[in-house]
Structure 1
Amino acid sequence: MRNDDDSNGASVQSVDRALTILEILAKVGEAGIGEVATTLGVHKSTASRLVSTLAAHDLVELTGERGRARLGVGVLRLAGSTSARLDLVQEARPVCQELAAETNETVNIAVLGGRSALYIDQVIGPSTITSHNWVGQHIPLHATSNGRVLVSELSPRERRATWGELTAYTEGTVTDPDELDRLVDAARERGCAVVRDELDVGLTAVAAPVRNAHGEICASMSVSGPSFRMDPERVEEVVPVLVAAAAEVSSRLGWHQEPVGLTAAT
């Protein structure tokens, strides 16, 4: 057997082998380093190095019994995150459908994904002829209503670490950190954020927080549409409906206290 960790394809091969180790342990429960090496077809030293790396991330636990390994708590953490996201989509979908039907606009659900807002579900309103499919896309936090809601309960210092590069996407994009802090603070106070023509010229969106059973913001729900249709007066009409819908999803996720500071947007 040849140890080719120094070859150009070593990184991809190591990832493939690491995933195979997880699959092995999921199937057999526990395995020794020698057993892992034999199944992978690699030297025992290579298998040991891969298992140690997985253990460092809590994906594998070393039992101390003759070097045996089993799946670690990190796998549960990842599975729990995926399960929570799937639960969110499942619980939010009927509410989003009702909201889209009532507002005739596009409704999106987003979660914090590193330094961006990750869009995980979308329902298009009946009057919307065409709409960009945002599902699966990472959208900048600073230039979107969803993004500003998702960071609204972080401290200013945490926000600035989360913003990433403050790129100007249109002439109206706010890129000044102090101004962004002011806008996010205002969004937190009134329970929603409104962004007009900052990510795309002609696009307006308003977002409200979705809370988990602990009352923490776990997602945001937005209503978006063309700016000519989502004028300030129309936004004022949408805000209470959106806030109520987001509260309904929060209730479905186990949050049974009314969010504070929910007033109409100005």
Structure 2
Amino acid sequence: MASDSGTNQSVEKAALVLSAFTGGQALRVSDVAKHSGLGQSTVSRLLATLESLEYVERDPISTLYRLGPALITLAGVAVNQHPVHRQARQPAQDLAATLGLGVNVAERSRESLFYLCNFEGSRAPRSFALMGQRNPLHATGLGKCLLLGLDPAQRRALVPRLHRYTPYTVTTHDELDRVIDEAAKRGYATETEELALGRACIAAPILDRAGSVVAAISISGPLSALGLAERETTLAGTVIEVADSISVGLGYLVPPHTHPPRPRELDS
């Protein structure tokens, strides 16, 4: 395993073992070895250590490993320390309860969006939590809002290839430029069946005190529940208003949809 100078290989190996569980399935030692690319004996020792620290736990009947409670503690601390999560959690939760739809908040993490909040309404239930998961930028309303903070050259450098997820996914940068220009003018972005068939969303950017795009919030759900074709104007006003309130909480003083967002530097 290649390592940068100054990194600790034991920590890297432990991280590889833990990352094998991001698919959401309980795993055997051999499964973890396959996912991590490490030897089975090495994985077995690492899992035993991680189990003693409660970073993983083993089912006593199946003997399969899954992530443990210590990681839940760390994750809770991490999100509670995040300024966008602190500002957005209650407004997003209230919006989901009022509309009965899904409400998500995400930031950009390199070439993906990263979910900070995820609330399900009664008309848009999910069997899993999105918080901590990632999705593509170009195929989501949230991602399009996050790309508002980059110029066309930066977007091409960040995501050179636009993967097709459905027949409706934007797959050329010229088309993505057009979509993002439109979103900048309107103050919100939409997505209809671009990532998954039968689902849609409408999203607005969240800005910090400098006017930079730091996150985005979306209203999402099944096509039939969202009714975007008939309710776009109403839902757009709602999501922009909530995004504005979160931005103000982060120190932004002017309604974010009245000025184009400032570009940010690409993450390393």
Q: Which residue of 1 aligns with 2:48?
A: none
Identity %: 33
Pair 198,131 (structure 1): closer, same or farther in 2 beyond 3 Å:
farther
Say if 2:126 is the partner of 1:157.
no
Where does structure 1 differ by over 4 angstroms across 4 or more consecutive aligned residues?
Answer: 82-85
Give the conservation status (yes or no) of the 8 Å contact 2:101–2:226: no
Say if 2:175 is the partner of 1:179.
yes
Provide the rounded CA distance (Å) in 2 between the counterparts of 1:192 and 1:117.
16
Q: Which amino acid aligns with 1:242?
A: V
Give the conservation status (yes or no) of the 8 Å contact 1:106–1:223: yes
Say if 2:249 is the partner of 1:252.
yes
Post-superposition offset of 1:165: 2.9
**Of the two, which has the highest radius of gyration?**
1
1:104-137 Cα distance to aligned partner (Å, 9 max, x none): 1111010010001011111111333335522111
Give the conservation status (yes or no) of the 8 Å contact 1:106–1:131: no
Post-superposition offset of 1:153: 2.8
Structure 1: segments with no counterpart, 5+ residues? 17-81
Say if 2:219 is the partner of 1:211.
no
Give the conservation status (yes or no) of the 8 Å contact 2:102–2:125: no
Provide the rounded CA distance (Å) in 2 between the counterparts of 1:261 and 1:189.
9
Please state whether the residue corresponding to 1:229 is helix, strand or coil.
helix
Q: Which amino acid aligns with 2:106?
A: A
Post-superposition offset of 1:238: 1.0
Alignment of 1:139-154 (within 5 A): 139-154=135-150
Pair 252,172 (structure 1): closer, same or farther in 2 beyond 3 Å:
same
Provide the rounded CA distance (Å) in 2 between the counterparts of 1:107 and 1:233.
19
Please state whether the residue corresponding to 1:127 is helix, strand or coil.
coil
Q: Return the TM-score normalized by structure 1.
A: 0.66
Post-superposition offset of 1:176: 1.2
Give the conservation status (yes or no) of the 8 Å contact 2:101–2:225: no
Pair 120,14 (structure 1): closer, same or farther in 2 beyond 3 Å:
closer
* 2:217 alignment partner, one of 212, 221, 226: 221
Say if 2:177 is the partner of 1:168.
no
Provide the rounded CA distance (Å) in 2 between the counterparts of 1:199 and 1:149.
15
1:71-90 Cα distance to aligned partner (Å, 9 max, x none): xxxxxxxxxxx689612111
* 1:240 alignment partner, one of 237, 242, 245: 237
Post-superposition offset of 1:151: 0.8
Q: Return the TM-score normalized by structure 2.
A: 0.65
Q: More displaced, 203-212 or 153-162?
A: 153-162
Please state whether the residue corresponding to 2:233 is helix, strand or coil.
helix
Structure 2: segments with no counterpart, 5+ residues? 14-77, 260-268
Alignment of 1:1-266 (within 5 A): 12-13=9-10, 15=12, 86-130=82-126, 132-231=128-227, 232-261=229-258
Provide the rounded CA distance (Å) in 1 between the counterparts of 2:8 and 2:112.
26
Q: Which amino acid aligns with 1:250?
A: S
Please state whether the residue corresponding to 2:226 is helix, strand or coil.
coil
Higher relative contact order (CA 8 A, sep 6+): 2
Q: Which amino acid aligns with 1:136?
A: G
C-alpha RMSD of the superposition: 2.6
